[in-house]
Amino acid sequence: MNILIGLITGMISGATPILLAALGGTLTFYAGIFNIAMEGMMLMAAFFAVLGSFALHSWVLGLLLAVGGAMILALIFIFFSVVLNTDEFVTGIALNLFALGSTTYLLRQIFKVKGVFTSKAIVSVPNIRIPLIDKIPFLGPILSGRNLIVYLAVLATVFCWYLVFRTRFGLRLRAAGYNSNSLDSSGVRTSRMRIVSLLLCAVFCGLAGAYLSLGYVTLFAENMTAGRGWISLAAIILVDGHPFGIALISLLFGFFDGLGLFLQSYGVSSQFTSMVPYIATLGALYVYARRNRERERNRL
């Protein structure tokens, strides 16, 4: 029983950063931007979350700084790709490199360490206990006592779905990706929709990064996102960007993430258990490719 609860809570905490980053990415996906900078945005956010929480002794300010850090990358992305019209793929890769380089640099510059920074003075984002629900057997310890950002991620999923499919803004957002010319001729600037989508993406990636460094663990490590941004990109592609689909896929990845940790306690070496989420991504891609192929066959 406890093992099962452990697996499920592990799944939830593994899923949260991927879910948040993918939700951010999906807004840009709908707006027609090939955005691969989630990895970098998350990494920046993870760094600035630790910086804010450590220097200002408050996790709220840590969260705000995290979003600010991701926002810096979003602004650079906007400057290069929307204003100067630089290739989005190139901009994204360069930004990921920039995030990796500058966080490594700042880690050395501000905290005077290489590799990992951790301190008792970093305030982590609290876990939330929900009064009545935590009394329910089995479900109680799963639904209650999770990190605040986990609950924010759940809200964010519904918010994204509502925003994209139930509001005028969402319609315009999708139009920006689907047919930017007709959106422009209807009097709404596509570039403006894209800018807004990138800024929103930074907010979500900011939360995702803050969860990594102030929730999942309380430290900053060089390159601590470890490909999660890329997995979130895969998640978006796999479900064509639908927020609820993304939530499902993220839980699946979270499950494999947790499964890896679980196997580790059974003596499988950590290098192999760490591979599990990436192998799972390959598996998911396989299923996606097969489904696509069948769909095409049915069309003919």
Partner 1 sequence: MTRKIVSGLLGVVIALAVGALIMFFQGYEPFATYAALAQFSLGGIAPLTTTLKNAVPLVLTGLSAAIAFASGPVNLGQPGQLVFGALAATLGGLYINLPPALEIPLLMVLAILGGALWSGLAGLLRQAFDMSEFIVTLMLNMIADFFTAWVIAYPLMDHKAFSPMTPPIAQSGWMPDLGPLNSSVLVLIAAVAVMWFVFQRWRAGYEWRITGQNSLFARLGGCDVRRNFMAVMLVTGALAGLAGGLVVMGGPHRFIKGLGANYAWDGIMIAIMANNGLIETLIYGIFVAAIQTGALGMELITNVPSEIAQVLQAVLVLVIVATREYAALLFDRVAARRQASSRKERAA
Q: Which of 128, 118, 295, 287 is nearest to 218 (CA)?
A: 118
Q: CB under 8 A: which stretch of 91-99, 162-170, 190-198, 248-256 binds partner 1?
A: 91-99
Applying the rule CB under 8 A, the residues between 229 and 268 that interact with partner 1 are 230, 233-234, 237
Under rule CB under 8 A, residue 55 binds partner 1: no
Q: Where are the alpha helices (DSSP H) in 31-78?
A: 38-56, 59-77
| Three-class DSSP category at 220 | strand
Binder among 5, 56, 100, 251 for partner 1 (CB under 8 A): 100
Binder among 16, 28, 35, 91 for partner 1 (CB under 8 A): 91
Under rule CB under 8 A, residue 118 binds partner 1: no
Closer to partner 1 at the Cβ: 120 or 297? Answer: 297
Binder among 4, 58, 60, 85 for partner 1 (CB under 8 A): 85
**CB atoms < 10 A from the CB of 46, how many?**
33
What is the DSSP secondary-structure string of 114-169?
Answer: SSEE--TTPPPPPEE--TTGGGSTTHHHHHSSEEHHHHHHHHHHHHHHHHHHHSHH
Under rule CB under 8 A, residue 22 binds partner 1: no
Under rule CB under 8 A, residue 190 binds partner 1: no
Under rule CB under 8 A, residue 86 binds partner 1: yes
Q: How far apart are CA 220 and CA 225, in angstroms?
A: 10
Q: Contact at 8 Å (CB) between 38 and 197?
A: no
Smallest distance, partner 1 to C-beta of residue 52, A: 19
Q: Which two tokens stand for residue 97?
A: 């490199």
Residues of this chain that bind partner 1 (CB under 8 A): 76, 80, 84-87, 90-91, 93-98, 100-102, 104-105, 107-109, 226-227, 230, 233-234, 237, 269, 271-272, 274-275, 278-279, 281-282, 285-286, 289-290, 292-293
